[in-house]
Amino acid sequence: MKVRFNKFWLVFLTAIDLVFVFSSLQIAYLLTFKTNEIEDYYLSFFLFYSIGWVVSSFFSHIARLQWDTDLKEILLMNLYGFIMHIIAVIGIVSLYDNLAFSYSFIFFAAVLTLLFTSSVRIVFFFVLENFSHKAQEHFNVVVYGVNEDMRNLRQYFIKNQDLGYKFSGIYGQADRAPDSMEFLGNFEALKSKLDSGAIDMIYITAPIETHSMKEWHEFSENCDRNCIHLGMSTKMSVLLDRKVKEVVNFGGVDIVLKRPLPLSNYSNVLAKRIFDIVFSSFVIFFIFPFILPIIALIIKLESPGPIFFKQLRPGKKNKLFKCYKFRTMRVNNVGALQASKNDPRITRFGAIMRKTSIDELPQFFNVLFGDMSVVGPRPNMVIQLEEFGKTIRSYSERHMVTPGITGYAQINGFRGETRADGAMEKRVQYDVEYMENWTLGLDVKIIFLTVYNMIRGEKNAY
């Protein structure tokens, strides 16, 4: 089964094309006329040429690109679109004899357009291929149930390994066990594997061996604690204790997801990761170099100690990573204690940084390394994972996605200290709502609102 690119990728690839097509025109003009001062009617040509490229790209089936399209097919699509485009350009230019367009300019523009757009597609192909191999390490799928739905799911996941799926085996009733090395045991065997970290997705296609709803709910909650995506065929959806929000189809089998998670979708994960890399690279290369010397000097002058503060935080799937910040406190031995209002450990400049969130800037390196995202649930302290994981039912679910520098909870007023009654519950509620409704547009909105709140000032920023 082929999976088509979503709208984001079509917009993304088209935007990149336009940048390089316009660059091709500028370079061609410079090569032809030895000047950067472009005449007005050539600017009109630039616009017509660029729009024409977008139209010809879609006629050459760019919208039909699949995840498993090979490089040769991608380049042939591009060449077909290029030929259509150049024929149209030359045909229309020849109709306007009164405008002296240089054919040398058009030749240079055409060659550079083909070269640049082909290069974009080659890079794009290898990025996708590399990401696909990495994704396979993170989506280990098992199916519970020995029936036709199981066989269809097994075939689908084996066939679509390039989408990040790795079929790891079958669980079910022993007396119905298939004659296959993939059969791993009964329901008890599956439960014993939940804490191993070897399972990322479980799909239930048959009734479990016990009719105890209590045991089923314990199993479901244990999946949440271990950040395992849980789904079941529609006939098993009666086991859900919540209204069905999303049904997906895998190999002809309709699967109800316990919790809809757009970021368990391959293309969405890749879109978010590319956005993170671009955004964090911009901050690191164009903002960080100018403010780092100033901040470092002030931190050193105000109190002895390092410039950066680092602390282990739980990330995606509870994996610990070193989270970086500018140091805002005097060196102390109570780093696991959450900052509070008028905290005596905070320096004067530290208070300013915390108020404006400048202390979080080093976390863009965490984003670049892949430990964090620009937007996502804020990574809490390890001690909070242990504390709230036992008392808040949905707390562990927020670790199904990569943590962020800012998040949906933060723009809704839940940042900073969480000691007030219900504060952490509300934060978790917003985090889960973000996970279930993620879009790239929502990330952009959260970033803008975060910047707005930084400028306006927030009462909980201390």
Tokens of 177: 């066990």
CA 255 to CA 259: how far, in whole Å?
Answer: 11
Instruction: State yes or no: pLDDT of 2 exceeds 50.
Output: no
* pLDDT higher at 234 or 305: 305
* pLDDT higher at 332 or 148: 148
All structural domains of the chain with their residue ranges: 7-135, 140-260, 267-456
Mean pLDDT, rounded, of the chain: 83
Of the listed ranges 41-50, 54-63, 266-275, the one predicted with least confidence: 54-63
Helix-then-strand count for the chain, H and E? 15, 11
Closest residue by Cα to residue 250 from 220, 187, 205: 205
Of the listed ranges 87-101, 245-259, 385-399, the one predicted with least confidence: 87-101
Instruction: State yes or no: pLDDT of 108 exceeds 90.
Output: yes
Whether the CA torsion 190, 191, 192, 196 is positive or negative: it is: positive
Q: What is the pTM of this model?
A: 0.70
Please report the pLDDT score of residue 331 as a whole number: 85
Tokens of 222: 């244990």
Reported confidence tier of residue 3, pLDDT bands at 50, 70, 90: very low
Q: For residues 400 and 435, is the Cβ–Cβ distance under 8 A?
A: yes
Instruction: State yes or no: pLDDT of 4 exceeds 50.
Output: no
Whether the CA torsion 443, 445, 448, 450 is positive or negative: it is: negative
Closest residue by Cα to residue 246 from 233, 256, 236: 256
Q: Exposed, middle or buried: residue 333 (CB in 10 Å: 0-12, 13-18, 19+)? A: exposed
Give pLDDT tens digits for 118-170: 888 877 776 666 555 544 456 789 999 888 999 999 999 988 877 778 899 99
| % the chain with pLDDT above 90 | 28
Tokens of 386: 């242990």
Please report the pLDDT score of residue 335 as a whole number: 56
Reported confidence tier of residue 107, pLDDT bands at 50, 70, 90: very high
Residue 323 DSSP SS3: strand
Please report the pLDDT score of residue 265 as a whole number: 77
Please report the pLDDT score of residue 43 as a whole number: 87
Instruction: State yes or no: pLDDT of 215 exceeds 90.
Output: no
Of the listed ranges 236-250, 326-340, 403-417, the one predicted with least confidence: 236-250
Please report the pLDDT score of residue 1 as a whole number: 37
> Which residues, in sequence order, are CB contacts of 459 under 8 Å at separation 6+?
none
Q: For residues 41 and 98, is the Cβ–Cβ distance under 8 A?
A: no
Please report the pLDDT score of residue 170 as a whole number: 92
Tokens of 44: 């009109």
Domain 140-260 is of which CATH architecture? 3-Layer(aba) Sandwich (3.40)
Give pLDDT tens digits for 432-443: 999 999 999 999
Q: Are strands 166-171 and 140-144 parallel, antiparallel or unpaired?
A: parallel
Strands lying side by side in the sheet with 140-144: 183-185, 166-171, 140-144, 201-204, 229-233, 253-257, 247-250
Tell me how many degrees the CA angle 334-351-416 measures, rounded to the nearest 5.
65
* pLDDT higher at 119 or 342: 119
**Residues 56-77: what's their mean pLDDT?**
71
* pLDDT higher at 137 or 401: 401
Please report the pLDDT score of residue 415 as a whole number: 75
* pLDDT higher at 192 or 165: 192
Instruction: State yes or no: pLDDT of 369 exceeds 90.
Output: no
> What number of residues does the chain have?
462
Reported confidence tier of residue 24, pLDDT bands at 50, 70, 90: very high
Please report the pLDDT score of residue 210 as a whole number: 61
Reported confidence tier of residue 8, pLDDT bands at 50, 70, 90: low
